[in-house]
Amino acid sequence: MLTWKDVIHFSVNGNPEPDKRVEKTEQEWKEVLTPEQFRVTRKKGTEAPHSGALCTAHDAGKYECICCGTPLFDSTIKFESGTGWPSFTQPIKKNAIKYHKDSSFGMIRVEVLCNTCDAHLGHIFPDGPEPSGLRYCINSESMQLEKEESHD
């Protein structure tokens, strides 16, 4: 289980190696993403709180990077943070997420990105539920939910 100490370590000393890398030009990203997905993931934008389609999603499945399809989070660790963005306590794998110190807007935060394609996902904060205490605050525009098939 990752902790805030691990997150800070990665943001200062380097991130775990991803399983693979996906790199495209800005034009190639524009061809496969909607304008809003491009603004959020490639230009480090943020969607308005409570506006994202995945804020209220509670279906079982995996949340994948909208840019490259890399699994990022499992629905079992999603929680209602009340912040207006989908929130998670842990990534699906230790090397799924990249952590970057963000000093924009006059504050210091830790930005989270897809470790496969460098898509901006959101930010992480040390105010989540136990046992990790982490809150990955993620833009809906940066993910897609691959729902588990029902076996009824």
Write out the binding residues for Zn(2+). Answer: 65, 68, 114, 117
Catalytic residue among 40, 137, 138, 145: 137
d(CA 27, CA 79): 35
In which element (H, E) is residue 32 found?
helix 26-32
Known binding residues are: 65, 68, 114, 117
Strands ordered across the beta sheet of 78-79: 78-79, 87-88, 135-138, 120-125, 109-114, 97-102
CA distances from 126 to 4, 8, 136 (A): 6, 10, 9
Annotated active-site residue 67? The verdict is no
Which are the catalytic amino acids? 137
